[in-house]
């Protein structure tokens, strides 16, 4: 089986919805500019991606620019909802530094210092495809953007990516909605896989 087929099968098995009760986030935000709602969204997306996996997972502490009305997928994701005007990322820099995720094993790192265990390189070095992919995923880096909220605060967009090598990764812009039970993933826009 080719590396791409194994990756597709692995990514296809990732669940796509999760919910977090309001205020139940086990995050520490005292030293962070991340709000409880933002942390609940990051926890929901991470739980959706990881499923029952409780091992070590690297997460980039630096947040990318929030989804913007200039992004091609913005209209597809917002479906006519009224989103706030989003401040320039340079003016509104946020970081996950100092927060704690609900899931055990999350290790925040400076993404610019991350070194992948690229499955393609592992295979070239004689590893089996299965071993190379497992090592790639075990050393993958998850990154998030800042969050764009609708004017009423009940809908949110966040960019998510998982990278495990040069041709190993996936991502999308994720649309979430807040109800009485917490944040739930409604859909994914502009999905990509490498």
Residue 111 structural domain: 3-193
pLDDT tens, the chain, 194 aa long:
444 434 434 443 333 333 333 333 334 444 458 999 999 999 999 999 988 777 789 999 999 989 888 777 777 788 778 887 655 444 567 899 989 999 889 999 999 999 988 888 999 999 999 998 888 888 999 999 999 999 999 999 999 999 998 888 899 999 999 999 999 999 998 888 88
Q: Could you tell me if 65 and 12 are in contact, meaning their C-beta atoms sit under 8 angstroms apart?
A: no
Residue 150 near residue 77, CB atoms below 8 Å:
no
Q: What is the 3-state secondary structure (H, E, C) of 115-181?
A: CCCCHHHHHHCCCCHHHHHHHHHHCCEEEEECCEEECCCCEEEEEEEEEEECCEEEEEEEEEEEECC
| Strands in 34-97 per DSSP E | 57-60
DSSP code for 100: -
- pTM equals 0.78
**Structural domain count, the chain:** 1
Q: What is the pLDDT of residue 191?
A: 83
Report how far residue 122's alpha carbon sits from residue 138's, in angstroms, rounded to the nearest whole number.
13
8: three-class secondary structure by DSSP: helix
């Amino acid at each position: 089986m080719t590396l791409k087929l194994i990756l597709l099968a692995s990514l296809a098995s990732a669940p796509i919805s999760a919910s977090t009760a309001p205020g139940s986030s086990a995050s520490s935000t005292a030293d962070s500019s991340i709000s409880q709602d933002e942390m609940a969204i990051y926890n929901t997306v991470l739980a959706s991606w990881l499923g029952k996996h409780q091992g070590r997972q690297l997460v980039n502490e630096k947040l990318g620019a929030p989804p913007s009305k200039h992004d091609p997928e913005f209209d597809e994701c917002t479906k006519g909802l009224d989103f706030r005007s989003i401040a320039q990322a340079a003016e509104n820099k946020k970081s996950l530094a100092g927060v704690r995720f609900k899931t055990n094993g999350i290790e925040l790192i400076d993404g610019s210092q991350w070194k992948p265990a690229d499955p393609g390189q592992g295979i070239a070095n004689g590893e089996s495809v299965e071993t190379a992919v497992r090592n790639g995923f075990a050393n993958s880096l998850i990154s998030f953007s800042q969050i764009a909220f609708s004017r009423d605060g009940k809908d949110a967009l966040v960019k998510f990516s998982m990278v495990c090598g040069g041709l190993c990764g996936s991502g999308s812009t994720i649309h979430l909605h807040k109800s009485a039970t917490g944040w739930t993933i409604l859909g994914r826009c502009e999905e990509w896989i490498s």
